[in-house]
Chain A
Amino acid sequence: MTTHPEHTTSFDADARGWFGGPETGWGGRFMPEALIAALDELTVAWHEAMADPSFVEEFDTILREYGGLPSPLYYAERLSEKVGCRILLKREDLNHTGAHKIRNVLGQALLTKRMGKTRVIAETGAGQHGVASATAAAYFGLDCTVYMGAVDTRRQALNVARMHLLGAKVVPVEAGSATLKDAINEALRDWVSSVDHTAYLFGTAAGPHPFPSMVRDFTRGIGDEARAQCLERYGVLPDAIAACVGGGSNAIGLFAAFLDDPEVAIYGFEAAGDGVDTPRHAATLHSGARGVLHGARTFVLQDDDGQTIESHSISAGLDYPGVGPQHAHLSATGRATYLPVTDAEAMDALQLLSRTEGIIPAIESSHAIAGALRVAAELAEEKGPDATMLINLSGRGDKDMGTVVEWFGLGDPDEVTEDPAK
Chain B
Amino acid sequence: MSTRPVFDKARGEGRAALVGYLPAGFPDVPGGIDAIKVMVDSGCDVIEIGLPYTDPVMDGPTIQAAALQALDNGCRTADVLRTVEAVAATGTPTLVMTYWNPVEAYGVERFATDLAAAGGAGLITPDLTPDFAPEWIAAADAHDLDKVFLVAPSSTEDRVAMTTAACRGFVYATAVMGVTGARSTTSDLAGPLVARTKAAIEAQGTGLPVGVGLGVSTGDQAAEVGSYADGVIVGSAFVRALLDHPDDRAAGLRALGALVEELAEGVRRRA
Contacts and interface: CB of A to CB of B under 8 A. Distances in A.
A binds B: yes
Interface of A: 16, 28-38, 40, 175-176, 181-182, 185, 188-189, 192-193, 195-196, 289-295, 297, 300, 302, 304-308
A145 to B, nearest CB: 16
A194 to B, nearest CB: 8
B101 A300 contact: yes
A36 B100 contact: no
Contacts of B73: none
B178 to A, nearest CB: 4
A182 B71 CA distance: 16
A189 B179 contact: yes
Given A305-B76, A305-B77, A185 B57 contact: yes
Contact of B57 (A29, A32, A36, A291): A32
A31 B105 contact: no
A29 B111 CA distance: 21
A306 B57 contact: no
B126 interface: yes
Interface residues of B, number: 39
A162 to B, nearest CB: 28
B151 A306 contact: no
B159 A30 contact: no
Interface of B: 53-58, 60, 64, 68, 71, 76-77, 100-106, 126-129, 131-132, 149-156, 159, 163, 174, 177-179
A185 B127 CA distance: 13
Given A30-B128, A36-B159, A302 B150 contact: no
B84 to A, nearest CB: 15
A36 B153 CA distance: 11
A304 B106 CA distance: 7
Contact of A292 (B58, B101, B159, B179): B101
Q: Which of A32, A33, A37, A185 has the most CB of B within 10 A?
A: A33
A189 B57 contact: yes
A40 B127 CA distance: 16
Q: Which of A34, A185, A193 has the most CB of B within 10 A?
A: A34
Given A292-B104, A307-B71, A185 B154 contact: no
Shortest 8 CB-CB contacts between residues of A and residues of B: A306-B105, A34-B152, A306-B102, A37-B154, A193-B178, A306-B101, A308-B54, A292-B101
Contacts of A289: 105
Contacts of B155: 33-34, 36-37
B42 to A, nearest CB: 30
Contact of B105 (A28, A34, A35, A291): A291
Contacts of A293: 55, 101
A185 B153 contact: no
Contacts of B174: 32-34
13 contacts: A29-B129, A30-B132, A32-B57, A32-B174, A33-B152, A34-B150, A36-B152, A185-B56, A192-B178, A192-B179, A291-B101, A291-B105, A306-B102
B127 A31 contact: yes
A291 B102 CA distance: 9
Contacts of A291: 101, 104-105
Given A195-B177, A307-B53, A292 B100 contact: yes
Contact of B129 (A36, A196, A300): A36
A181 B57 CA distance: 11
A209 to B, nearest CB: 10
A32 B58 contact: yes
Nearest to A309: B54
Contact of A304 (B60, B100, B105): B105
A323 to B, nearest CB: 15
Contacts of B178: 189, 192-193
A33 B163 contact: yes
Contacts of B126: 32
Q: Which of B60, B68, B163, B179 has the most CB of A within 10 A?
A: B179
B60 A189 contact: yes
B154 A195 contact: yes
A137 to B, nearest CB: 22
A38 B105 contact: no
Q: Which of B58, B77, B132 has the most CB of A within 10 A?
A: B132
A125 to B, nearest CB: 15
Nearest to B173: A33
Contacts of A175: 64, 68
B59 to A, nearest CB: 8
Contacts of B132: 28-30
Contacts of B71: 307
Contacts of A37: 152, 154-156, 159
Nearest to B134: A22
Contacts of A193: 177-179
